[in-house]
Amino acid sequence: MRGLVHLAGAHARHHRWRSLLLTFCLTVAFLLPATTRQLMVRYERDLSARAEATPLVAGTRGNRFDLTLGALYFRQSALEPVHMGLLEEIQESGRGVAVPLHTGHLAREATLVGTSLEYYEQRGLRTTAGSLPMMIGDALVGSAVAARLGLEPGDALSSDPTNLYDINQPGATRLSVCGVLAPTATPDDDAVFVDVKTAWMVSGLVHGHGDVTSPGALEEDMILSRSEDSVSVSPALIEHDQVSEENLWDFHLHASPEELPLTAILYFPADDKDKTILKAEFNRSAVHQMVVPRKVVDELLNYAFKIKRLLDGVALVLLLSTLVFGGLVLSLTARLRKEEFDMLHAIGCSRSATWKLVALELAGIVTLAAAGAAAGLVLLITLAPDLVRVF
């Protein structure tokens, strides 16, 4: 048997290009279905874990996928915002914990997420440095953002301007990094968290400026109108672009608190009964909707698995084509080696030995292809980006 192994190896090395071609084709045929399967397993696991940890999501009635992915993964959504008054209404039901979410702005290309302290408690988030946002203007950065930008507590981080060419839009706001989150392998790693009031400040709904009510505080051409209750000033008045201890009390709202916008509301009910009751009551509204993220994600995964079945069909056709091609090559090779086999028979080799010689060569090619596919699978899974974040 050792002699047959040596002869099979020598023949494969002599016809190296044929052997490499067969090995490559088989490697691809093995690798494609294995990769799609592993990526789908990871995709399903990551999507399901995030959805399972979020019992309910409330928002404006519309596309449920936009609402769910926007709330769980901070995706940009075309849905209209809900108002702060809705959050207060849900909180008054006393059936659980309601957490506000405000997204839609970026800070150095990272999503700026306005929320409350309950978010960190419900998600089980902790800091590796610094503290949670305690005042307006504080920013808690995810681990991936901190690593990418080299941020640590005490550093400054500016929000991205909404429109560089529109002076009516709020400019960049300088935020103070108060802490860094521990890695979680979730979208939280790629986000910058602030208090919801800070998110409104970035939107221009909360702003701060110097004293405008005291006589002589402003030049007359900066004052548009004055009454006993209020003073209207020119848009040319320079507003604070950063919160500090000195100007903290200069910041104020120019809207009713109940009308301030939120992207979505996460809801964590006390038990399944409260979850069912609140969802049923809430979905009577023609304007708002409350969805169960796990059900929405399962529906999304059904579409993904349909695509996977299509890819599995393509992989099966590829594998069968490769096997037919390999069989044809080996059949032609056996005919070309007829004189070699006749010589082996003449010196005493049995006919079964010649078939073993061909089988050993084929087994070596299949083994190399399987090893190459396994190595390629490990490499692809290691280097592949998080599909949840990509898509």
What is the three-class DSSP state of 156? strand
Note the pLDDT tens digit of each residue in 100-132: 999 988 888 899 999 999 999 999 999 999 999
Which pLDDT score, from 0 to 100, does residue 216 have? 46
The pLDDT of 325-349, averaged and rounded, is 69
Residue 345 pLDDT:
61
pLDDT of residue 385: 63
Model confidence at 8: pLDDT above 80 = no
CB atoms within 10 A of CB 238: 7
Name the pTM for this structure. Answer: 0.72
Q: What is the mean pLDDT of residues 186-191?
A: 91
Q: Is the pLDDT of residue 349 over 80?
A: no
Q: Identity (one letter) of the amino acid at 285?
A: S
Token digits for 349? 């080799």
Q: Quick: pLDDT tens for 38-69.
A: 888 888 887 888 888 899 999 999 888 999 98
Neighbours of 360 (CB within 10 A): 19
Per-chain mean pLDDT for the chain: 78
Domain boundaries, the chain: 2-47+300-390, 56-205+255-291
H/E stretch holding 7: helix 2-14
Q: Which residues of 270-282 are buried (b: 16+ CB within 10 A; e: fewer)?
A: eeeebbeebbeeb
